[in-house]
A and B are shown apart, each in its own frame.
Chain A
C-alpha cells in the first residue's frame, strides 16, 4: 500500500453566509493509497460531504470557496484544474456516490438514460453496449428484473433502489477513486452486505481506492482500513481501523463509540450521547472546538487549538490530554 494515488494537503473550504464566514473544512490533510479504503466518520455538519465535494470540484460557488490547500491526483492538483480537464476525470477516474440520490438523479430522465449516458460519454460505448452494461450493473446491485425496471423514472423506485442506482452509476466506469458518501444508509443489511462485497471486489480487481463516509460504525468495521474522525471541520483523529475501535484517543471519538446502539443491548435503556450542542461554525472558540462538551478539558484547552500530533504508532489525534491515563473530570456520557 505504498502507492499514493491522492495526496490532500491543508484543504480549507469556507462558505460566505449571512452570519459571516464559515470554515466548513479546515486544514484537512491525508494520503489515499491504491487499494485502500479510508473511512471518514464524525459529527453531522463536520465537513465530511464538503471535503468530498471539494475533491470533485463541486463546491457551490458562491457561497462556497476553496480557500486553502491542494489535492494531488497522480501529480495533478484537482483544486486548480481547468474545468474541462476536471470533467474528463470526474465520474470516470474519480467517481462519487452522493449522499442524496434524489437530488443527484434527474427526475425527468429514466434510470436507463442516466446510466447509459455515463458509459457513452466516458467509455465511448455504443447505445446498445451501454444499455447491456447498465442492466448488468443494476443486477449486480440487486435491483430485481433490471431489464424491465431500468425504464422506470427515479420516483418509481424506493429510497434504497435509488441509492443503488447511484452506486451502479459510480461503479460503471471502474474508477481509480470512489468517494462514497453514506452509500448504504437506505439499504437493508442483507443488500448492504452485498454492496460492500461488490466494492471490495472492485477494489481487489482494479485497485480502486475508496473513501467511505459513513455514520455506521459497523460499516467502518467491515470495510475500512484506516479511519479519520472529523469534528467542526477538522480531522481530530486518524488511526488504523482496529486501533480506533480498541483504543480511541480523542474524547470525541470515545463519545462517538459509546453512542453506538448495540444489537445485544436491552430494549428501552437510554442510549449514551455526547452532551451539549454541536459547534456553531460561525462562532468557533479560539481553543479546542470540542471543549464546551469535553469531560477531559483543562484550562489550556480554552486557550489553544490542539493540532494533530504523532503518537508512537503513527496514528494521530488532536488533543492535549492523554485520555488513556486521565479520567474525565465530569462524565459527559451519561
Chain B
C-alpha cells in the first residue's frame, strides 16, 4: 500500500489534508410551476488544511454543508470546483481504483448511526469487513481484534454476534467508531461522533479519540454541534456558514475572542448545564430568515441576519483573512461598532430576559 503512495511529487512537508476552494453544488429539483432551475451551494468555495496529528473542529448552522464537505473529501459526492490533496497528492480527480489506498487511510464516523450500519450484518461482520477488504490481520485474529475494538469503545465483547437493531442509538454509534478504527487510519472524519452518546460515554469516547491521536498520530476533522466538546478536542476550530468558512482560529483564541457576528451568536446560544444560569442568560438572537442555500449573494452571505451590516456588505465578499485568527467579515476587528450594534439591536428587539 505504501508503494502506491510513493513517488508522489510533493512539497517537502505537505499538510496531511488540504482543501482548496472546494465547492459542491446540488441541483434543486422544483416541482412548483414557473420556476427556473436553481442550485444548492452546499459547499461554496472553502479552504483549509490539516496537519498530521492535528484536530480541526468544524461547527456551523445545521444545513451549512459540513456533512457534504466531509463526503466530498472521501469522494462520496463529486466536487463541483476546487482541489483536495492528501499528503500533497491530488485526490479529488482520482479514479476509484487509484483512490483505494487513500480509502484505508481516511475513515469516517457517520452522523447517522442508524443509516450507516448494514442491518443484515452482525457486529462482528461489520467490524471485520474493512479489515478483510484491506487484508489486515490473519483471518483468525480478526475476531480477536474486533473484540478488542468493542472493549475500546465501551461495548461488551459478548455483543459480537448481535445485529444493529438490537442496540440503542448510542451503542450503534460506538459500533461505527469501532469499525472506523479497525483499519488503522491516519485521518478520521468524525461527523457528530458523540452527540448520540450519554455524557459519560461521550467523555470516554473523546478521551479515547485523544489517546489514539497521541499513540498513533491520528488527525481528525471533527464535526459537532456541541461547542464544549469541540473546544475540548480541537486544536483549531473552523466556523461555517452557508457553505463557507467565516472564522478559523486556534481553539483557545476562538472561544476567548470570537470575532465574526455569527460565531458570537453561536457561542451565546450554548445551553449551559446549570438551570439557574440558564434561566437568566441572554442570547444573541439572529435576526431575519434562515437564508436558503440556493440564494445568490454577491457579498457577505450573513448579511440578512447580521446586526452590524453596512451597505458594503451587500456587494463585497469578505475574504477569510488574518494570520492565526482568520475572519471573513469587513468589520471583524471593529469592537466599538459591534457593541453599538448589539446595544441597538437589544433595544429594538427588547429581548425578554430576567436581569435578576
Contacts and interface: CB of A to CB of B under 8 A. Distances in A.
A222 B229 CA distance: 18
B23 interface: no
B274 A221 contact: yes
Nearest to B242: A144
A217 B286 CA distance: 23
Contacts of A308: none
Given A185-B196, A218-B272, A263-B272, A18 B168 contact: no
B67 interface: yes
Given A143-B290, A186-B62, A43 B271 contact: no
Interface string B104-125: 0000000111110000000000
Contact of A49 (B112, B169, B198): B169
Contacts of B325: none
A152 B270 contact: no
Interface string A126-144: 0000000000000000111
Given A41-B198, A245-B275, A261-B229, A182 B169 contact: yes
Contacts of A278: 154-156, 201
B346 interface: no
A268 B210 contact: yes
B184 interface: no
A257 B206 contact: no
B206 A271 contact: yes
Contacts of A161: 62-63
B75 interface: no
Contacts of A185: 192, 195-196, 225
A174 B61 CA distance: 27
A7 interface: no
Given A151-B31, A186-B225, A267 B170 contact: no
A114 interface: no
Contact of A192 (B202, B228, B269): B269
Contacts of A19: 158
A106 to B, nearest CB: 13
Interface residues of A, number: 75
Interface in B1-44: 26, 28-32, 35
B61 A271 contact: no
A159 B111 contact: yes
Given A159-B112, A261-B232, A186 B195 contact: yes
Contacts of A159: 62, 67, 111-112, 192
Contact of B67 (A41, A158, A182, A221): A158
Given A100-B112, A263-B255, A190 B203 contact: no
A230 to B, nearest CB: 10
Interface string B160-176: 01100111111100000
A189 B272 contact: no
A267 B278 contact: no
Contacts of B196: 44, 99, 182, 185, 215
A267 B201 contact: no
Nearest to B167: A45
A256 B200 CA distance: 6
Contacts of A189: 225, 227, 266, 269-271
B271 A192 contact: yes
Contacts of A2: none
Contacts of A255: 200
A272 B252 CA distance: 20
Q: How large is the interface on B (under 10, 10 to 19, 20 to 34, 35 or more residues)?
A: 35 or more
B354 to A, nearest CB: 14
A5 interface: no
A144 B286 CA distance: 14
Contacts of B112: 100, 102, 159
A160 interface: yes
A152 B232 contact: no
Interface string B132-153: 0000000000000000000000
Nearest to B250: A267
Given A189-B266, A267-B252, A219 B162 contact: no
Given A144-B293, A161-B63, A218-B273, A271 B115 contact: no
B228 A265 contact: yes
B238 interface: no
B171 A45 contact: yes
Interface in B237-260: 251-252, 255
Contacts of B202: 215, 259, 261
Q: Which of B158, B169, B270, B275 has the most CB of A within 10 A?
A: B275
B310 to A, nearest CB: 23
B343 interface: no
A193 interface: yes
A94 to B, nearest CB: 21
A142 B290 contact: yes
Nearest to B289: A144
12 contacts: A17-B166, A44-B171, A44-B196, A45-B168, A144-B290, A151-B31, A156-B29, A189-B270, A215-B170, A267-B252, A272-B203, A274-B200
Going nearest first, the 6 A-B pairs with the smallest beta carbon separation are A44-B170, A218-B271, A160-B62, A271-B203, A217-B273, A145-B292
Interface of B: 26, 28-32, 35, 59-63, 67-68, 111-115, 154-156, 158, 161-162, 165-171, 192, 195-204, 206-207, 210, 225-229, 231-235, 251-252, 255, 265-267, 269-276, 278, 283, 286, 289-295
Given A144-B291, A261-B229, A263-B231, 7 more contacts: A102-B115, A103-B114, A144-B289, A182-B169, A216-B271, A270-B207, A273-B203
